[in-house]
Structure 1
Amino acid sequence: MLLFIYSQLVRLALPLILIRLWWRGRQAPARRKNWCHRLGYVPRMTGRIVWVHAVSVGETIAAGPLVRQLLARDPHTRVLMTAMTDTGQAQARKMFGDQVSYAYAPYDTPGALRRFLKRVNPAVLVIMETEIWPNMIVQCHRRDVPSILVNARLSERSAQGYEKVRALVAPVMDNLTWIAAQAESDARRFRRIGVSASRVEVTGSVKFDVEIPAATRSAASELRASLGERPVWIAGSTHQGEDAILLAAHRKLLAQYPSALLILVPRHPERFDTVAELSCAEGFTVARRSREACSEKTEVYLGDAMGELMMLYGAADVAFVGGSLVERGGHNPLEPAAWGLPVLSGENVFNFETIYEQFRTHDGVRFVQGEDELANTLAQLFSDPSQAEALGQRAQAVVNRNRGALERVVEGIARQF
């Protein structure tokens, strides 16, 4: 009954959702492209299809090694990658080109999912992390399509929210075939909201199996050489309300290190112009990567090209991971850690609590609060390279120590179809 009510509410909201999609598409035309996919009208596919759903950029990047393993394991398998955002789809295309197929995921109504499944006829659905859409899972179950949640995480905050609507959530979760949880704490919370213990397995996080392609290493090395010997720090995946704090910290750092450079990479492309304007208004000399080269006079280098964050991390000396000085829950610290960089973060990391717990345990991260502490920590690391190197090595060791989840997840997926 609750699923029926939920579906009716989504149907009622659908006209407003489509209007919003059209409205936001004024400045980002890519959002309007293939809008019919949202209603389930995707190109028909044949063969053995593995449907991989990754909601946005972060999940798409995390899905990369998994998709490569699936393709290598069985060359006859076709992979369809779906996302909810245009940036997620653009990231997937940049990673895989014509190796896989792409579509926007349908909105979560029974009709849209039935149309989508009829056209694609997947052998299995692989959902990255905790993108739980009731009709997506239920409609797959009704067509005998196994639904698998991989790299699954569930924070205490989310678990408490799901418990409030347990009557809706429990039947949906019962339709999942297998959940590959990042940690025992995640598995325990899934069991709390109605998942059978036999369907939950702790595999670890596939994000620890992060890859740095040779081309990315080469591009990072080339960029770093162009920046010279100056101190360079990067703030990746920043959010509204965070950039002003980071710029204030950079101003304080410049008082001690006048040649220091901040590579500032906003999380969402629609904020590129806003952050560029803010940086200029604060009096910094700004260069935008998409438009001009970074000169020796540049104080803020704006990373405004999609899909380059991993490479930009490799050109820095210290990394701050965004979404953590504001209530966003943080972002993935494993990419800078894989480079062996010292990792800094704010305290708001509830979306990555399992991963950050590993870093806390092994002293592989420095947590900072506010512009003063951030600036002081940066100055300390730049003044003591051996301390910075040791912090980076500990962060990299955390990544290496936890590799192996990917193989376990791929084996688990293979068992389901």
Structure 2
Amino acid sequence: MYSGAISAFGVGVKVAGFKNSKARLLSEGQKEIWRRLDESIEADARYIWVHAASLGEFEQGRPIIEKIRKERPEYKILLTFFSPSGYEVRKNYSGADCVCYLPFDTPGRVRRFIDKVNPEIAIFVKYEFWRNYLHELWRRQIPVYLISAVFRPDQFFFKRRSAWYGYWLKWYTRIFVQDERSRQLLHSIRVDSVDVCGDTRFDRVSDIRAARKPIPLIERFAGTPGKNKVMMAGSSWPEDERIYAEWFDRHPEIKLVIAPHEFDKERLDTLVSLFKNGAVLMSEAQKDEALLDGKQVLVIDCFGLLSSAYAYCNVAYVGGGFGAGLHNINEAAVYDVPVFYGPNNEKFIEAGEMASSGGGIPIASKEDFERMADILFYNDRERETRGRNAGDYIRAKIGATDKIFDIIFPS
């Protein structure tokens, strides 16, 4: 039944591709897998296979990939993605020897893929539970690890009617979880090859801050540090803009930088027209910096700048919490700024912990945002204290990558 459902999903992707651009990218990417593997995989090389569903999971897996590159250069790395939003952004990632989509999880494709790559080790990131891949790796006695995982009581592994899914977890050689609650949940279904190591995203955002490069255009827009005040809205959705836009219309002295989660032309046109005190696209300002003059809002309409752009703000807002799910609040907090985020954050341990520290500011409405924005932008001591709390929280969580690496590769 599972394999039949996966096959049906593949057919559905092809059909959806006639109208949906993401489905089309996935369908076309699936066709390219075997050619890319034929061109890139060396028969006599030793491979570690790392799989990340999308871009966020890639950022969690990246510290492990880069530590393997540095400490175990005898291995080559294959990186796979399931989602176009990960693959299309990172298909040229230089830290891997080959990057491709993950073939759909049907028995024939699974055997063909593993025969071709013949990995010595497989590493899955956070929420990757592909039944046929796990079973085939287990059957061939290839070590397979799950890193930065989080488990919750509402997942199907822990429900009576679907508890048989829990057997899949026994095929992992070891599971590295973020917290003790996850370990206890796994213990309740007799999965005990588990270590509490934390979340590798904290290591990643720390590395990003250390290696960040200046962004002159944003620096010019933001103005003199300490004089002008700026909010950075990262991974913003329309639902998020409905929360904060009106407050900025009433406070033209506070600047706003927005990195929308998606930026097709219609989305960008709507976003620019939303703010009455003037907004400009970064791509346009790069051609003529004078367009920045007199504008309250700068919209970043390209990939790759968000994690460094947070360095220019006094307060951050991370999107997704009023929709499908919260984006990465750690990459903002690492710059010692307080972070707003919406209520759909229960799947993210850091959201609750950062709120408890005082550095995270969960909100449930426009009124919540406006009340706290009035405080943070006009009370320097409150803003700076909450910002330090956010940064201290991040620094206290660093170290998961080394713990995981030392267990996978014991000295």
Counterpart position of 1:69: 67
Q: Is residue 315 of structure 1 aligned with residue 309 of structure 2? A: no
Asked whether the equivalents of residues 318 and 326 of structure 2 are also in contact (C-alpha less than 8 Å), the reply is yes
Query: Which of residues 268, 273, 283 in structure 2 aligns to 1:276?
Result: 268
Change in CA separation of 1:246 and 1:278 when aligned onto 2, cut-off 3 Å? farther
Query: Which residues of 2 match residues 17-416 of structure 1 at below 5 A?
Result: 17-21=13-17, 23-25=19-21, 31=26, 33-37=28-32, 42-43=37-38, 44-46=41-43, 47-93=45-91, 96-97=93-94, 99-158=96-155, 163-167=160-164, 169-192=165-188, 194-197=189-192, 199-209=193-203, 210-213=205-208, 217-220=212-215, 223-229=218-224, 230-247=228-245, 251-255=246-250, 257-267=251-261, 269=262, 271-284=263-276, 285-293=278-286, 295-326=292-323, 328-352=324-348, 354-415=349-410
> How far, CA to CA, are the matches of 1:114 and 1:140 in structure 2?
9
> How far, CA to CA, are the matches of 1:39 and 1:189 in structure 2?
38
Change in CA separation of 1:170 and 1:157 when aligned onto 2, cut-off 3 Å? closer
Query: What is the letter of the counterpart of residue 320 of structure 1?
Result: Y
Offset at 1:415?
A: 4.7
Change in CA separation of 1:358 and 1:252 when aligned onto 2, cut-off 3 Å? closer
> How far, CA to CA, are the matches of 2:131 and 2:238 in structure 1?
30
Query: What is the letter of the counterpart of residue 321 of structure 2?
Result: S
What secondary structure does 1:314 align onto?
helix
> How far, CA to CA, are the matches of 2:18 and 2:106 in structure 1?
19
Asked whether the equivalents of residues 209 and 335 of structure 2 are also in contact (C-alpha less than 8 Å), the reply is no
Asked whether the equivalents of residues 221 and 315 of structure 1 are also in contact (C-alpha less than 8 Å), the reply is no
> How far, CA to CA, are the matches of 2:322 and 2:101 in structure 1?
31
Query: What is the letter of the counterpart of residue 102 of structure 2?
Result: A
Query: What is the letter of the counterpart of residue 46 of structure 2?
Result: R
Query: What is the letter of the counterpart of residue 180 of structure 1?
Result: F
What secondary structure does 2:218 align onto?
helix
> How far, CA to CA, are the matches of 1:39 and 1:218 in structure 2?
37
Change in CA separation of 1:300 and 1:276 when aligned onto 2, cut-off 3 Å? farther
Structure 2 unaligned residues grouped into runs of 5+: none
Asked whether the equivalents of residues 61 and 91 of structure 1 are also in contact (C-alpha less than 8 Å), the reply is no
Aligned length: 399
Query: What is the letter of the counterpart of residue 230 of structure 2?
Result: V
C-alpha offsets along residues 33-87 of structure 1, whole Å, 9 cap, x if unaligned?
A: 5432568973333311111111111111122211111111111111111111233
Asked whether the equivalents of residues 208 and 307 of structure 2 are also in contact (C-alpha less than 8 Å), the reply is no
* Bigger mean CA deviation after superposition, 219-228 or 105-114: 219-228
TM-score normalised by L of structure 2 = 0.88
C-alpha offsets along residues 291-350 of structure 1, whole Å, 9 cap, x if unaligned?
A: 434613323322221222101212221111111123x23122111111111111122212
Offset at 1:214?
A: 6.9
Change in CA separation of 1:203 and 1:214 when aligned onto 2, cut-off 3 Å? closer
Query: What is the letter of the counterpart of residue 273 of structure 1?
Result: K
Offset at 1:376?
A: 2.7
> How far, CA to CA, are the matches of 1:162 and 1:225 in structure 2?
54
Query: What is the letter of the counterpart of residue 236 of structure 2?
Result: T
Offset at 1:32?
A: 5.5
Structure 1 unaligned residues grouped into runs of 5+: none
**Root mean square deviation of aligned Cα:** 2.7
Query: What is the letter of the counterpart of residue 286 of structure 1?
Result: A
What secondary structure does 1:408 align onto?
helix
C-alpha offsets along residues 223-254 of structure 1, whole Å, 9 cap, x if unaligned?
A: 2244314321112123353332232xxx2234
> How far, CA to CA, are the matches of 2:318 and 2:201 in structure 1?
15
What secondary structure does 2:122 align onto?
strand
Asked whether the equivalents of residues 40 and 116 of structure 1 are also in contact (C-alpha less than 8 Å), the reply is no
* Bigger mean CA deviation after superposition, 8-17 or 124-133: 8-17
Change in CA separation of 1:359 and 1:20 when aligned onto 2, cut-off 3 Å? same
TM-score normalised by L of structure 1 = 0.87
